[in-house]
Amino acid sequence: GCEIEVNAQIADEQLSAENVIGLLPGKGSLASEYVVLGAHLDHLGMGNFGSREGAGKLHPGADDNASGSAAVIMLAGRLANEYRELPPDQEARSILFMCFSAEESGLIGSSHYCRNPLFPIEQHKLMINFDMIGRITNGRLSVSGASTGEGMEEWLAPMFEASPLTIVQPENMSGASDHTPFYRAKMPILFGII
């Protein structure tokens, strides 16, 4: 039984975000096939959006996801050295090292890449995504997606067995992270998270 008058102003503010991508060229007939090693750069800061801890509480960027970005950088250095040591006639796929922006805001950076790839998306053969891998406890790492590509489970089994970590493989695809747009594009994926 009362009347309320409300005045409001809505501001639509556009923000720019950038993916960071590096290319390690492959060799021979496999050079036109691409493996993506990725992680997201952004984090929630004080958790005003999406934080498990709630708004105004610190969501450490070192965990989510400087650890994944650091893994991509470390792998880039290691794989560049290994590619230099390959025999001249050795074939090798090209590797795209990607650090995505705006994952926390809805997979914006990785979705943009899948819609606007540097190379035809069908030439992308595998996407490996690292998210929150820096605080492994009890020696446990979750890796999902082994069943998304033909022969991947058999290819991964000896590596998982040789790992000092306990590799847990969820039955269902876990997490909505930067692997998701690639999976939707019908690409095999692997998703590592604690």
Residue-wise pLDDT tens digits, 144-163: 999 999 999 999 999 999 99
Calpha distance 104→42 (Å, rounded): 7
CA 77 and chain centroid, separation: 18
Average pLDDT score over the chain: 91
* Total Cβ atoms within 10 A of residue 63: 16
3-class DSSP state of 126: strand
| pLDDT above 90: percentage of residues in the chain | 71
Residues 89, 28: contact at Cβ < 8 Å? yes
| pLDDT above 70: percentage of residues in the chain | 93
> Tokens 């820096």 appear where?
134
Sorting pLDDT into bands at 50, 70 and 90, what band is 174?
low
Alpha helices in the chain (DSSP H): 67-84, 108-115, 152-162, 179-184
What is the identity of the amino acid at 124?
H
Q: Is the pLDDT of residue 57 over 70?
A: yes
Calpha distance 114→182 (Å, rounded): 7
> Tokens 């060799």 appear where?
27
Q: Is 103 a catalytic residue?
A: yes
Phi, psi of 114 (to 5 degrees): -65, -30
Q: Is the pLDDT of residue 51 over 90?
A: no
The DSSP secondary-structure symbol of 174 reads P
Q: What is the mean pLDDT of residues 118-127?
A: 98
> Tokens 């089994």 appear where?
157
* Total Cβ atoms within 10 A of residue 44: 20
Catalytic-role residue among 3, 103, 153, 171? 103
Calpha distance 162→179 (Å, rounded): 25
- pLDDT tens per residue across span 62-86: 778 999 999 999 999 999 999 999 9
Q: Which residue has the higher pLDDT, 34 or 16?
A: 34
Give residue 58's pLDDT.
72
Q: Which residue has the higher pLDDT, 60 or 70?
A: 70
